[in-house]
Amino acid sequence: MRTDRLVLGAFLALLLLVPAILSPYYVTLLNYIGLYAMVALGLVLLTGVGGLTSFGQAAFVGLGAYTTAALTTATDLPGWLAWAGTSPWLTLAVGLLLTALVAVLIGSLTLKLSGHFLPLGTIAWGISLYFLFGTMESLGGHTGISGIPAIGLLGWTLDEGGEIYYLIWAFLLVAMLTTHNLLDSREGRAIRALKGGRVMAEAMGVDTSRSRMVIFVIAALLACASGWLYAHMQRFVNPTPFGVHIGIEYLFMAVVGGAGYVWGAIVGAGVITVLKQWLQNWLPSLLGATGNFETIVFGLLMVLVLHRAREGLWPILKKLVPVRALRKTIDPDAEPLPRRTLPKAGELILEAKDVTRRFGGLIANNNMSLEVRAGEILALIGPNGAGKSTMFNQISGVDTPTSGEVRFLGKPVAGHDSREIARMGMSRTFQHVKLLPTMSVLENVAIGAHLRSDKGVLSSAWRLDRAEEARILKEAARQIERVGLAEYMYEEAGSLALGQQRILEIARALCADPCLLLLDEPAAGLRFREKEALGELLRKLRAEGMATLIVEHDMDFVMSLVDRVVVMEFGQKIAEGLPDEIQQNPAVLEAYLGGVE
């Protein structure tokens, strides 16, 4: 048996035995750790992986707790709602539904915010919900609600710490398993691209706003489930545990444990809960005075951890546990992904007509026109600052021309976002490479196939996407082999040399099965042999009917490869023609060499 399975088995066996071997005090402590870890797990997804900082999770815990408290203790529920108060399991369903609705509402208002505005937004709604719990008379005001019944399960009443313990940890383990599965999927790659890779992900067809909303709702649902369990464990709720200061503590747990790791949630919740408890017990006797000293020491310890272990404690602990990272396997029998039929050679694919782009007084593109046909490689060249990248942005829908029009496959590009354009069959690389550096080469390339597959969050969480995932990985591996990076398939993308990272971007673009490739300086940083191999690949793609538009500074590479060349200077087209003609063109020589004798 593999060591990691043994370690996991030992951990689960230990969890199972806890109520039998530990005193009720420690069981209660573990109950709290389980409840907190569930909220911290949501923050791992939201903050650690997705890069969205929230201080407001405690409010969602409160929503779960108050929903069940109010419904299960009410004596005068209206007829249409009376069914909900009959069992805590029904109130869980109501709480989750309500939380999802509130999260979608709050998310649509706050997730558009960026930078420090988003955390501030979460504080704002965190405070609002907290005061709502305390202000509503029907929720017991600041006194709260007591007399909440225990949860019944298969004939048992879970009214003791040692009993609800199993339910709490079962919830947590299922949440960890499904979160782990989700992150290891098509949806998960989209989520992992949110932090630092949004432009790239959108260009690959990922709806990043939807992905942000997905993790926001999941994190809220996990917090709600934790609140539901809390209410039935305590059998009493009041607003105190749902304030913003507890929201900050949840964030600490995720960060201290390791905000980018599923196991970080347990580690963070465990360390902070135990530490607080110890400090509370020991400090008064150590200092000979009572007071909230633990909060001060706790704050200092946090600063220390943030200085010394930015990634949190889990990566450090992981080194001590004999667990090796699992390598993804490529299933050679997986069915190939469907492919689009490429237009016939010579067919007009891309047409830019009189494109002008002004930035204030600066005209970066001035009446630029060009055409690319199927089975053709067109180079767009020009000195630095000529306006090539700006033109690329107009073509790929990243930017909109001030005047003029770009048509792709006969349809105007303006008004469509990068995602729709990607879906139409345009795929690009970036002048400044945009990769997810800690993800493997294989997974980076697999993002390219996002639009060629459709399994969603639930299928991913419950592993119903494995057949499709195998097809995606097989396609990604095929493209990696095609561009000559097979030996680096399982390396972290960030560890590759810059030239190889550019080639990786081409594999990712090809994984989208495009009919038009836009390559921004693909040969920059490549060695001679690598350039030769790239040239060969592009020639092969051309023979298959691919249309390619390439911006490149390496003239030897360009002139020996492309069919036609468009030359720009100061935002305008100064020449267009066959490579041989362009090399003799006096205007081009003037632009590049500053004049001919």
User: Given the rule CB under 6 A, which residues bind ligand ATP?
Assistant: 359, 362, 364, 382, 384-390, 431
With a CB cutoff of 8 Å and minimum separation 6, the contacts of 443 are 189, 328, 436, 476
With a CB cutoff of 8 Å and minimum separation 6, the contacts of 403 are 354, 355, 356
Q: Give the number of other Cβ atoms within 10 Å of residue 295's Cβ.
A: 14
Evaluate whether 378 touches 395 at the Cβ level (below 8 Å): no
**SS3 (DSSP) at 412:** strand
Closest approach, Cβ 551 to ligand ATP, in A, equals 7
Q: Which residue has the tokens 């090796």?
A: 324
Pairing of β 151-153 and β 156-158: antiparallel
Closest approach, Cβ 390 to ligand ATP, in A, equals 3
Closest approach, Cβ 361 to ligand ATP, in A, equals 10
Closest approach, Cβ 384 to ligand ATP, in A, equals 4
Q: Rounded distance, CA 384 to CA 316, Å? A: 46
Of the two residues 63 and 413, which places its CB atom closer to ligand ATP in the complex? Answer: 413
Closest approach, Cβ 485 to ligand ATP, in A, equals 25
Of the two residues 234 and 367, which places its CB atom closer to ligand ATP in the complex? Answer: 367
Of the two residues 212 and 388, which places its CB atom closer to ligand ATP in the complex? Answer: 388
Measured in whole angstroms, how far is the alpha carbon of residue 226 from the centre of its chain? 23
Q: Which residue has the tokens 């997974």?
A: 443
Q: Rounded distance, CA 346 to CA 192, Å? A: 39
Q: Rounded distance, CA 385 to CA 568, Å? A: 10
Of the two residues 382 and 514, which places its CB atom closer to ligand ATP in the complex? Answer: 382
Token pair for residue 332?
């050679």
Q: Rounded distance, CA 427 to CA 66, Å? A: 49
With a CB cutoff of 8 Å and minimum separation 6, the contacts of 460 are 181, 182, 184, 185, 186, 187, 188
DSSP character at residue 148: P
Q: Which of 113, 110, 81 is nearest to 98 (CA)?
A: 81
Of the two residues 283 and 364, which places its CB atom closer to ligand ATP in the complex? Answer: 364
Closest approach, Cβ 502 to ligand ATP, in A, equals 14
Closest approach, Cβ 392 to ligand ATP, in A, equals 7
> What is the b/e burial string over 152-162, where b = at least 16 CB atoms within 10 angstroms of the residue's CB?
eeeeeebeebb
Measured CA angle at 33 (ends 89, 129), to 5 deg: 60
Of the two residues 134 and 382, which places its CB atom closer to ligand ATP in the complex? Answer: 382
Closest approach, Cβ 491 to ligand ATP, in A, equals 28
Of the two residues 114 and 290, which places its CB atom closer to ligand ATP in the complex? Answer: 114
Closest approach, Cβ 517 to ligand ATP, in A, equals 18
Supply the DSSP string of 38-63, one letter for each residue: HHHHHHIIIIIIT----S-HHHHHHH
Of the two residues 273 and 393, which places its CB atom closer to ligand ATP in the complex? Answer: 393
Closest approach, Cβ 591 to ligand ATP, in A, equals 12
Of the two residues 385 and 412, which places its CB atom closer to ligand ATP in the complex? Answer: 385
Of the two residues 38 and 395, which places its CB atom closer to ligand ATP in the complex? Answer: 395
DSSP character at residue 138: G
Rg (CA), the chain: 29
Closest approach, Cβ 399 to ligand ATP, in A, equals 8
Of the two residues 394 and 479, which places its CB atom closer to ligand ATP in the complex? Answer: 394
